[in-house]
Amino acid sequence: MKKSRMFWSTVLNILAVIILVAYAYGSWFFASVLIARPTQTLAESAALVKKTPADVGLPAPLDVTIVNGEVTLAGWYFANERDGDCGVVLLHGYTSTRYGALDFAPLFWECGCDLLLYDARGHGESNGRYHTYGYYEKEDARAAALWLAAQSGLSLGKIGLMGVSYGAATSLQAAPLLPELAFIIADSPYQDLETIIRYQAVQQYGPAVQMMIPGAWLVAELRANFDVEEVSPANSAAQAQPPILLIHSLSDTYTPSAHSQAIYARSNANRTVLHLTDWGASHGDDVNTNFSGYAELVDLFLQEYAPGFGKSD
């Protein structure tokens, strides 16, 4: 009897060790998916986007670097000869590069704005080992806006931030750091990291993966030295001083439009506008699906909340 109990005790202990090892491995794997997923090179991004600056009406860019602590951001600066006395920083989506923000450039180039497009940390030609979904990236966006102000001679009140998806969430999280900005435009942002990761995990791996999420978060936080709970564009929008335009496709299944609705619900309604589009666009693709309609939404927002921004003709 005693030998039998010892046998089963040993078996259970072995099984417990196997389960713990498997859970630790799974946590490390999913943490890597979260914070260290491979991103596109600049060449790969150019091939996917199939557009160059010239294709969207821009001149040859000036290659620039922006240093923020241990991270060096690589980007393009476009000085506008029309001199609209305005500037905009454009932020791309997750795993993309500055090429992924080119579609938005004509919205502001035509009104005379200088433009800065840069690769997010850990993307393209920018260094940085981990992706923290705005926790550190918001400081990069702040550094980029300050760089643009110094380079162009513009005050922050003549500069706006616009991002799509990952870049939209970063722009919103940068808002409390840049209260003087002219505006922030966020296309298809997530409301917070916890909500979008739970949703994406189930979409990509099935419901069973939810048991791995706590372990993956813990490992990700330890490896990248950040706090998942603090990654919240919705909370940042609630603290923002610049006017905010939220644009989100009702057809978006990657980051559902409910995320922008949640952000809007937390923000100041006196300086926040939400447009849920019904153009049939996929995630972050409203600008390509209906450029004229998209430009009209942006123009109307700027006329009301940033009057005099750029040249009107």
User: 106 near 56, Cβ under 8 Å?
Assistant: yes
The residue among 83 and 133 whose pLDDT is bigger is: 133
pLDDT band at 25 (very low <50, low <70, confident <90, very high): confident
Residue 57 has pLDDT above 90, yes or no: yes
The residue among 310 and 182 whose pLDDT is bigger is: 182
pLDDT band at 20 (very low <50, low <70, confident <90, very high): confident
pLDDT band at 1 (very low <50, low <70, confident <90, very high): low
Residue 10 has pLDDT above 80, yes or no: no
pLDDT tens readout for residues 116-166? 999 999 999 999 999 999 999 999 999 999 999 999 999 999 999 999 999
Q: What is the mean pLDDT of residues 269-298?
A: 98
- Confidence (pLDDT) at 11: 66
pLDDT band at 279 (very low <50, low <70, confident <90, very high): very high
Residue 34 has pLDDT above 80, yes or no: yes
- Confidence (pLDDT) at 4: 72
- Side-by-side strand order, sheet with 159-164: 62-68, 71-78, 114-118, 87-91, 159-164, 183-187, 244-249, 272-277
55, 41, 190: which is closest to 124 by C-alpha?
41
pLDDT tens readout for residues 214-244? 999 999 999 999 999 999 999 999 999 999 9
The residue among 257 and 18 whose pLDDT is bigger is: 257
- Confidence (pLDDT) at 7: 65
Name residue, tokens 């990291």: 193
Q: Report the 10 Å Cβ neighbour count for 210.
A: 12
Q: What is the mean pLDDT of residues 59-78?
A: 97
Q: For the whole model, what pTM was predicted?
A: 0.94
Q: What is the mean pLDDT of residues 51-80?
A: 97
Q: What is the mean pLDDT of residues 285-311?
A: 96
Mean of the per-residue pLDDT values of the chain: 94
- Confidence (pLDDT) at 83: 87
pLDDT band at 260 (very low <50, low <70, confident <90, very high): very high
- Confidence (pLDDT) at 3: 65
| Domains with residue ranges and CATH for the chain | 1-35+195-228 (no CATH), 40-192+231-305 (3.40.50.1820)
Q: What is the mean pLDDT of residues 67-82?
A: 97
